[in-house]
Amino acid sequence: MLLGACGSTEAPTVRWFTQKKVDQFDDTSSCRVTVGSLYYANGTVLTYTNNFYPFVETLDGDLRVGVLSGGQVQVPVGNIQLRIDSNDAWSIETQETPVDYVPSSSTVDMAPYMASMTAEQKAQYQATFENSMENATKIMSPYTAVSGEKARMILSEMLNGYNLIYRRVGFNQAASSTGEYKLDNSFRNALTDCGIAI
């Protein structure tokens, strides 16, 4: 990836770009608008591990706005804050993150653990297991995002704004480092390319 970038005559820039994907197993389609640390004229985009990047995405028509982990080794993001211009900051917690792939109890043989339970206990155990798996998936997710009306409201501010700052809300620390990107024409053009509008 870096060799192709070295051959480019243009200096790398930072801009918003589009990532379109179709899942090979379930055919769900997504279109993501995000930024990288460096964008080269040949289309190569570099992101770094332990760096975080804002994104807007549609996944089978479901709008999402949030922050994702970069690099080849993606790490959990945790709770985040976004702020557009001088508007109030938005907080997005891991619990709000849409979950697409959660291991279900049907993939785990629960029978040995539930053999002596009543029907009511089995139902409670099953619900607890599924809830635990969903929560663990959200906490360990390489992105934190929100969907629905809150995502539409954030996107509306982004479309009317000029500057986006964001940060991870770290555990037991006053604040983590802040990232910042311009909401310039590359942002609007990438949204158009994805067909994302409010």
Query: What tens digit of pLDDT does each residue of 23-80 get?
Result: 898 899 999 999 988 877 777 788 888 889 999 999 988 999 999 999 888 889 999 9
CATH of 2-99+141-194, one of 1.10.3470, 3.40.50, 2.60.40, 3.30.70: 2.60.40
- Averaged pLDDT of the chain: 86
- Residue 28, classed as helix, strand or coil, is coil
Query: Measured in Å, how far apart are the chain's first and last C-alpha atoms?
Result: 35
Mean pLDDT over residues 101-105, rounded? 57
Helix H segments across the chain? 2-6, 111-114, 119-140, 148-160, 185-194
Task: Give the pLDDT score at 172.
Answer: 61
CA 163 from centroid of its chain's CA atoms: 19
What confidence category does residue 15 fall into, taking pLDDT thresholds of 50, 70 and 90?
Answer: confident
pLDDT cut 70: percent of the chain above it: 87
Mean pLDDT over residues 8-26, rounded? 83
Decide if pLDDT at 9 tops 70: no
What confidence category does residue 175 fall into, taking pLDDT thresholds of 50, 70 and 90?
Answer: low
Task: Give the pLDDT score at 174.
Answer: 57
Decide if pLDDT at 104 tops 60: no
What confidence category does residue 173 fall into, taking pLDDT thresholds of 50, 70 and 90?
Answer: low
Per DSSP, the residues of 29-81 read EEEEEEE-SEE-TTS-EE--TT-EEEEEEEETTEEEEEEEE-SSS-----SEE
Least confident of 54-58, 94-98, 126-130, 164-168: 126-130
Task: Give the pLDDT score at 103.
Answer: 57
